[in-house]
Amino acid sequence: MPKITVLPHAQFCPEGLTIENAPAGETICDVLLQNDIDIDHACEKSCACTTCHVIVREGYNSMTEPTELEEDLLDQAWGLEADSRLSCQARVADTDLVVEIPKYTINHAREH
């Protein structure tokens, strides 16, 4: 099984983390949540927002291509890059991944 290396993020994963044996077929979001990285997912993983946006620094091409709906939503994400994905839609394949959680998200529930 592949591993997911999460780069340090001040709020969600200050030290960074390597998740060994990430189950193929699981979404990146689910794997992060199962490993105590409380990434935002305001739409409850239904591909209706951009709060779970991640940048896949390595292993991007091992995953299935994003759907048109995911691409449309990603256009609204803060800090969009060519290798951005919604972690609720991006499924782990058989290749190790390096994932960065962007510094900001568009999450009105956390904006106070």
**pLDDT-based confidence at 107, cuts 50/70/90?**
low
**pLDDT-based confidence at 104, cuts 50/70/90?**
confident
Q: What is the pTM of this model?
A: 0.91
Q: 40-44: long-range contacts at Cβ-Cβ below 8 A with a sequence spacing of 24 or more? A: 40/105, 40/107, 40/110, 41/87, 41/88, 42/107, 42/108, 42/109, 43/88
The chain-wide mean pLDDT, for the chain, equals 92
93-102 confidence digits (pLDDT tens): 999 999 999 9
Instruction: Report how far Cα 105 is from the mean position of its chain's Cα atoms.
Output: 12
65-77 confidence digits (pLDDT tens): 999 999 999 999 9
**pLDDT-based confidence at 109, cuts 50/70/90?**
very low
The domain made up of 4-105 has a fold known as: Ubiquitin-like (UB roll) (3.10.20)
Please report the pLDDT score of residue 36 as a whole number: 96
